Structure 1
């Protein structure tokens, strides 16, 4: 909080008074925190396993099947292992995750052909490959939110630096950089993703890098305007007269007072990142399968209209996430409104 100006700290306090916005933020944080723990809380590997007097931690350590009397060096199927051990009368006990479903494993024990309708075993049903929809939604939320957060943070940093440099330098440098940004923004984003993805593959990091080189443009316009306005203020001139370096003036003197567009646009940029990744996955240009993805689930729902639970659950999860994020964004925008002080005081 010390990094922010007193005025910005006041606006954050005003945001906390907005119960809907602040509650939505808390809900998103809880959902994201749970999703970050999903590799351990939403899985079919026991957190703690007692087998024949020995203690194992399969969710944290990889064990070979031979460790439990098997034949191969591959990792065992723990639900099958425990079921077989109980049938043989062996001493076995396990502390299982909250949701005992692996998002990458198909259910081969059920009768019939997937997708399977919701049941006590699969609360939201399965997809066309027999994989649990609920576990894929939770893991997909983790991947989608992490992707969007990293993309937004990287795009925000680039937007601050590039837009700030434009406004701080001004003159011919501002004009040259602005013309370059206009040319860069006219490049077809989807074609760039398809081209680079077809050459280098579609990894998590590569997709972030490709999208980040376009994601900063909108914020740079706002930061350029803020720095153009603030560079002529008295405190900036005083800092220059005291011999402060340009980097220190840029980040320490001007940036805290130019942070309003950064905070205001952050939730809406986050929404854009979620929508972009979901759209790319839906079209088949996103993350490589079988990565859990909301866009991939929506595509499966479209291809399996006789299994409506796939589309309904995915769209509902996406709607709730975007709605909560929009509430947060609206709350921040109201707090940043110069007239909002009269309403909240």
Structure 2
């Protein structure tokens, strides 16, 4: 069983007392939970099918070909249509016994829901269960928002880990060792800063189709610079404090001083920059998708929805949905960062009461 020391418990209670940060954490956690298990909430495949005395689940692993129900589905069952047939009590279906349970949003982010004598985009409709309407090719906007959020949040967190791993290591080393090591990496960073990031993306996108991993590596290639400068400055400041001089006089190794003393005492700065890094990752991916240099179609993307909203200004539900999702996400991440910075700042806590 994991036991927490009194200082950690005190920090957690302090964070819970900061209502804006705590409730933002709850909201973001719910958003992440729904997006990571989106197949259970937003999917064109049924959750459960009961037909002629047998249960069929899970249906989204293609365990139920259309031929099972003998309803004319040659390749894949249309579960929304099947539900309607169950409800109409046709001669080969007993509606009183057969039933189907669909997700709350019975559409996947890739399918086109088109109508006769009508052209998308379609406005929000609770009857059709397009709660935020469709885009200009008939795909459900809510489905693409949720699946796009999952892609964006994973991208941002992985990018954060990569940038922080490189940036904190190099920045602390620059500040701690100084001298020629510091001067060498200063010149490297100055060269890196002069490389036009967007041009690199454009050049690579013209050669190969950008994938999730390619975009991640390119952004990580340039994204570690910001936190490196911050950690360099903080390390220069911390290494001259009395507690560092004390542990150094006791014979502590360089690695122990950096990882056991300097980094823990700069955690408030690291945490302060983390939400901005996550927000920056989401905005960067959205911007690249908007410009057409991001993830390839038909990958669900907030940037691609923004582009559609710009091209279809009459379809107000497209751009308003994406903007609302972006504002909510960026605001909650920022509030969480503020709450964690205030609650977990080591200078506000001590084990000596």
C-alpha change, 1:238 and 1:200, in structure 2 (3 Å) is farther
C-alpha contact (below 8 Å) 1:40/1:59 kept by paired residues: no
* Corresponding residue number in structure 2 for 1:23: 23
Deviations 1:2-33 (A, max 9, x none): 99995x88666544322112211221111111
Residues 327 and 302 of structure 1: CA distance in aligned 2, closer, same or farther (over 3 Å): same
Distance 2:341 2:260 in 1: 24
Give the deviation of 1:81 after TM superposition. 4.0
C-alpha change, 1:256 and 1:60, in structure 2 (3 Å) is farther
| Distance change (3 Å), C-alpha of 1:182 and 1:14 | farther
Structure 2 Cα separation of the partners of residues 174 and 47 of structure 1: 58
Structure 2 residues not aligned, in runs of 5+: none
1:247-262 → structure 2 map (5 Å cutoff):
247-262=255-270
Is 1:123 aligned with 2:123? no
Return 5+ residue gaps in structure 1 as ranges: none
What secondary structure, in the 3-state scheme, does the structure 1 residue paired with 2:105 have? coil
Contact in 2 for aligned 1:116/1:127 (Cα 8 Å)? yes
Aligned length: 340
Correspondence for 1:80 = 81
What RMSD in Å do the two structures reach over aligned CA positions?
Answer: 3.0
Alignment-derived partner of residue 217 in structure 1: 225
Partner residue in 1 for 2:51: 51
1:303, distance to aligned residue in structure 2 (A): 0.8
CA distance in 1, matches of 2:222, 2:327: 25
Structure 1 residues 281-327: Cα deviation after superposition (integer angstroms, max 9, x where no partner): 11111111111111111100111112111111111111222222232
TM-score w.r.t. the length of structure 2 is 0.85
Q: Which secondary structure state, in structure 2, belongs to the residue aligned with residue 223 of structure 1? A: helix
TM-score, normalised relative to structure 1: 0.87
The 10-residue stretch of structure 1 (13-22 or 276-285) with the greater mean CA deviation from structure 2: 13-22
Match status 1:294 vs 2:302: yes
Q: Secondary structure at the match of 1:94?
A: strand
State the 1:151 CA deviation. Answer: 1.3
Could you say which residue in structure 2 is the equivalent of 1:99?
A: 105
Contact conserved, 1:264 with 1:336, CA < 8 A, in 2?
Answer: no
Corresponding residue number in structure 1 for 2:198: 190
